[in-house]
Chains A and B, each alone.
Chain A
């Protein structure tokens, strides 16, 4: 420790703040990724086992029933795979944008510790998003590799799905984030998000069958669901599903818009909660 005597000059003070101002978001992400290491084995095993199990059970197992009845035609495996890869990204987002928020504000209030260092509220939000992406992107990439091994990705541009799936996960995560970050007391809200948000979204977003198979009264769930837009986008790339170009654009714009709005709201919630 060095003894501190004279007051620093204004320039020296501004200079000391420069690195945190520029790289703060990355420091937060670095922190979060370090704490993920405790779960590394689980994360790695899940990211390989999940796609194998789901593609086998649903793509091939359930697919054999569907293909038999609908007389072949479009392979069910190629149809369901884009939904599964997007769902996997959503699942990871559902973990990264729920409990870690409650954790950082309440159970182990490290967000306040970060903020007491030169890190701003918006940098904490960015850092958490970057860290989530650091899990979502590899998950989607591994998923895609296993899709290829299963022969579930026929198109040459199918690899774009890694990005569309990650975007879907991010959109869901950023919609959840402003809410989970504002929870003051855990009364099971996280379980409710899972059961009344993520699960119905997984089941009613045209994942296992085209949305049109559902009664019109239930189809709206798909229209507002980021997972449906992400899945349809994935299908366009995975096997060249035919849909009007404007619809493809809508899928993309919708997902981007959710991200932008969620991100902004999350920053506001964080700033308000940290500045008490």
Chain B
């Protein structure tokens, strides 16, 4: 692995007695796309704020581009682009002015910033909205403007905190496309998400975080290989019967997870397991065979769903 752009060792953030981030260690290589996957309250955002050099760590080591955020906050932030969970665009300014004002914070001269703003509006597909009020933009447009704003300083690392939460499917795909282009250009991406499809789309490597600690680490495919089977069979027998039937299906598939509304049966061949169930005389109300996802990895690791 080449020299890391971010390296964290035993990174910890405590609020009074509560440890929001509890001794996590990871490294991110240049140009890599790195994800923090976990449910709400897992400590993802706090980690992002520490990496963003706006939240002081309680203990542990943290180095961004070789600098310690405790001494070199402004220098580090000069190299970062930050897309926060909640859009914090300036609603009193128009779309293009938001980019200009933000560019000034990085010391970009007036002459250069206008051109940069137009270029970014083009990239964010907002060129025709340059003079709009921020409030008049749709949710997806606001997100794209926030991403454009984060790119105003040509950041080496782009931090995205749940970039597509709350967006409709079409807006998410447009956004993923833009992020994928950045990745192709060599920008290091660090993102948090609680959507496994997003993590699978965008991340080269990810860590699964829960309760402030890292549960597992690897590429999406490797994590699925390691913690799940190739396929999953989902069967429903009705909310009141799932539990009872599951007990009688022992021996079918490698492993079961019983959820309130369905039973998940992990196997290399889902159709074969379904046939076994039928043979045993059980008739599920519905059945579905699908490939394993990160959701299954998370369920295996924590016993809980990602989105509750």
Give the tally of cross-chain contacts (CB within 8 A): 131
Asked if B49 CB lies within 8 Å of chain A CBs, one says yes
Q: Which residues of A contact B78 (CB under 8 A)?
A: 13, 16-17, 20, 118
Chain A residues 85-134 with CB under 8 Å of chain B are: 108-110, 112-120
In the assembled complex, the Cα of A17 lies from the Cα of B53 at a distance in Å of 13
A42 at the binding interface (Cβ < 8 Å): no
Residues of A within 8 Å of B187, CB to CB, are 4
Residues from chain A with a CB closer than 8 A to the CB of B119 are 1
CA distance A117 to B151 in the complex (A): 11
Interface of B: prevailing SS = loop
- Which of A21-29, A62-70, A181-189 forms contacts with chain B? A21-29
Are the CB atoms of B154 and A2 closer together than 8 Å?
yes
> Interface stretch among A31-39, A45-53, A149-157?
A31-39
Task: Flag B23-62 by CB within 8 Å of A: 1 or 0 each.
Answer: 0000000110000000000000000010010111000000
Interchain CA distance A113-B123 in the complex, whole Å: 21
Q: Are A7 and B54 in contact (CB under 8 A)?
A: no
A117 & B77 in contact (Cβ 8 Å cutoff): yes
Q: Contact check, A120 vs B75: say whether CB atoms are below 8 A apart.
A: no
Residues of chain B within 8 A of A5, CB atoms compared: 30-31, 186
Q: Is the CB of B66 within 8 A of A120?
A: no
Collect the chain B residues with CB atoms within 8 Å of residue A116's CB: 52, 54, 77, 80, 82, 84
Inter-subunit contact A113/B79 (CB<8 Å): no
Chain B residues with Cβ below 8 Å from A28 are 105
Does A14 reach chain B (CB closer than 8 Å)?
Answer: yes
* Cross-chain contact B105 with A117 (CB below 8 angstroms): yes
Does A213 interact with chain B (Cβ within 8 Å)?
no
Contact, CB under 8 Å: A276 / B107: no
Q: Considering only CB atoms, which chain A residue lies closest to B49 in the complex? A: A276
Tell whether B260 is near chain A: CB-to-CB under 8 Å: no
A275 and B105 within 8 A (CB):
no
| A92: min CB distance to chain B, Å | 18
Instruction: Please give, as numbers and ranges, the residues of chain B lying within 8 Å of A276 by CB-CB distance.
Output: 49, 55
Please state if B92 and A108 are interface contacts (CB–CB under 8 Å).
yes
Which chain A residues border B154 with CB–CB below 8 Å? 1-2, 4
B118 within 8 A of A: no
Known contacts A35-B92, A116-B52, A118-B77; is A13 also within 8 Å of B72 by CB? yes
Is B77 within 8 A of A113, CB to CB? Answer: no
- CB contacts (< 8 Å) of A275 on chain B: these are 54-56
B245 on the A face (CB < 8 A): no
Min C-beta distance of A15 to chain B, whole Å: 9
Shortest C-beta distance, B41 to chain A (Å), equals 15
B86: Cβ under 8 A from any A Cβ: yes
CB-defined contacts of A115 to chain B, threshold 8 Å: 54
Given known contacts A7-B65, A116-B77, A30 and B104 CB-to-CB distance under 8 angstroms: yes
Look across to chain B and name the residue whose beta carbon is closest to the beta carbon of A2: B154
How far, in angstroms, from A256 to B167 measured CA to CA in the complex? 51
Q: Which residue of A lies closest to B4 (CB)?
A: A7
A3 within 8 A of B: yes
Task: Give B92's nearest chain A residue, CB to CB.
Answer: A35
Which of B31, B66, B74, B123 is close to A118, meaning CB atoms less than 8 Å apart?
B74
Contact B91 A108 (CB under 8 A): yes
Given A14-B75, A34-B97, A118-B78, A23 and B107 touching (CB < 8 A)?
yes
Q: Mark B139-174, 1 if CB is under 8 A from A, else 0.
A: 000000000010101101000000000000000000
Chain B residues in the interface with A (C-beta under 8 A)? 3, 5, 30-31, 49, 52, 54-56, 65-67, 72-80, 82, 84, 86, 88-93, 97, 101-102, 104-107, 119, 123, 149, 151, 153-154, 156, 182, 185-188
- Measured CB to CB, the residues of A under 8 A from B are 1-8, 10, 13-14, 16-21, 23-24, 27-28, 30-31, 34-35, 38, 108-110, 112-120, 274-276
7 pairs, CB–CB < 8 Å, chain A vs chain B:
A8-B65, A16-B78, A110-B89, A118-B77, A120-B73, A274-B54, A276-B55
